[in-house]
Structure 1
């Protein structure tokens, strides 16, 4: 084979590689030809499961088998970094949120991934809200009472979150600043909300800031924990007895969370659009919508890769100066 033929062969191979979406030689037209992995970057049993697993069950009839893998750690950064480094073939997806795609990258001095350079948005599944939660033994009934207790009992309170740099952490630090003398409340990061919830129930920590879920509301109902306020603008239809931070006179603590699907950056448009279209069809199912609403979440029936990408990038731009001013950047 002469040199020119070798160059021609390499050029042809390069063109063919651009058409190949994953190892094995199948083109994007054949996607999916094997099971898709959805990485939930939190411990099993937390709110991520209550969002990702119903989606996987419903979309399986449209895309084929989907298996869920819980990879917790560093507030979600471990699982997110793993997906960022995965082959851009549509077979590894991340259930990301405002923490993994905004808060963690902004608050890390050396983030393990770049949310814009390493990921592309596929579809926002739901919007959610956070809740201030305490152990029943704590003598407070509302958010103002928690602030007053913190001032009257310095160096005695701590609160749990799913990790440093998460949206939960941001809201917690904003509460500390808002409360003036309550600046010595200790932040306790966990590998997910499930272990934090267990420690709260057992009395290992007195408070936590958690994503609202049906499980959390049920624990509130039976008195195993006490929800003081939610960060949404309106009370939740599934928990109308719990006031909002706006009603508590702390509107600056308002926070709207979200969860959605992300793929490695170089994933082909055809594959991203196929996943998005299947998800849109699934989200139109009233049964899936009710699954999410019953857990205090609002399903997004009108998302798209373009809309979701813009939302994530806008939030990065909006929160960057906030994170810097609060000194939350960490090594």
Structure 2
């Protein structure tokens, strides 16, 4: 009920507070956006991450009524782009297309990261999840995860796995598999996935975990043993997950999402969250990212923060257990 004061209706304290909170938002925040928005993508142009980011930017722009301009800032595993975004003015006009590496793995394991994924950023939501495939040279004498594990146990240290480099996502995922399976596999770090997969196909290395493996599998140049996520890769519905093949609890699912610098006004964050959700749920998005192995799924900010906390704990423990040291 609304109270009356001197014969006139008086607003309740709750209403006064709500109105005051709204009016306290800067006019620029209430009107946001009134100009183009910059979205830093911590990866090189042309790759799968860039393709996903540009689709998200396209849908967000249509939803917000202003261009969302992709700015590729690769380097140092993504930390350079993340560090730049963390320092940006929190007005909603600089965003970052973050991921499991920039917002969980690196902050948990690298000494040179100078931002906190939970304190330096505000999540607008995740848009995609994806897994990798454990793929090997077709000449190797096994065809599934059980065979991989059995071969490694029978030949300690003989089997090797190529990765995109020390501390890369597929390095951590490979170490997690070895740890949970109780095997010893030799790590061979490369400067990126491209030279690593070439050596696996040529026989100089044995196996690798990849997300973009379809062309190699279709051509018979690699064989898939399993997928690393909690669910099967939609591109390869007949390839079982590692967990389905007996390694209970194994999960190396990766994600991508949109973040703003901490302190961005709540009105802006609400609009951003709605636009990010639209990008994940837009029918065109699934078709654009299908070949990259990305699965559209909107995850709201509170759940994103919980996922970051859980992933950081997992990566930190894995680094300690396996002796992975990153600068």
TM-score by length of 1: 0.78
Task: Report the equivalent of 1:308.
Answer: 304
Task: Report the equivalent of 2:80.
Answer: 78
Q: 1:43 to 1:226 in 2, by over 3 A?
A: farther
Task: Report the equivalent of 1:186.
Answer: 187
**Quick one: distance in 2 between partners of 1:83 and 1:314?**
23
**Quick one: distance in 2 between partners of 1:314 and 1:247?**
22
Shift of 1:126: 1.4
Q: 1:28 to 1:196 in 2, by over 3 A?
A: farther
Q: Where do 1:95-134 residues align within 5 Å?
A: 95-134=97-136
Task: Report the equivalent of 2:61.
Answer: 60
Shift of 1:234: 3.7
1:89 to 88, 91, 94: 91
Shift of 1:107: 1.0
Aligned length: 302
CA RMSD of aligned residues (A): 3.0
Shift of 1:125: 0.3
SS of 2:167's equivalent in the other structure is coil
Task: Report the equivalent of 2:216.
Answer: 219
- The answer to whether the 8 A contact 1:48-1:95 is kept is no
**Quick one: distance in 2 between partners of 1:156 and 1:142?**
14
Q: 1:153 to 1:329 in 2, by over 3 A?
A: closer
SS of 1:95's equivalent in the other structure is strand
Structure 1: gaps of 5 or more residues = 1-17, 21-25
Task: Report the equivalent of 1:51.
Answer: 52
- Say whether 1:159 aligns with 2:162: yes
Shift of 1:95: 1.7
Task: Report the equivalent of 1:173.
Answer: 175
**Quick one: distance in 2 between partners of 1:91 and 1:98?**
23
SS of 1:263's equivalent in the other structure is strand
292-301 vs 235-244, greater mean Cα deviation: 292-301
Task: Report the equivalent of 2:229.
Answer: 232
**Quick one: distance in 1 between partners of 2:31 and 2:248?**
50
Q: 1:177 to 1:279 in 2, by over 3 A?
A: closer
Q: 1:248 to 1:310 in 2, by over 3 A?
A: closer
Alignment deviations for residues 15-52 of structure 1 (CA, whole Å, 9 cap, x no partner): xxx966xxxxx812332233222222223333312321
Q: 1:198 to 1:70 in 2, by over 3 A?
A: farther
- Say whether 1:258 aligns with 2:261: no
**Quick one: distance in 1 between partners of 2:202 and 2:83?**
32
SS of 1:244's equivalent in the other structure is coil
SS of 1:79's equivalent in the other structure is helix
- The answer to whether the 8 A contact 1:46-1:194 is kept is no
- The answer to whether the 8 A contact 2:138-2:221 is kept is yes
Q: 1:270 to 1:166 in 2, by over 3 A?
A: farther
- Say whether 1:38 aligns with 2:39: yes
Shift of 1:230: 0.3
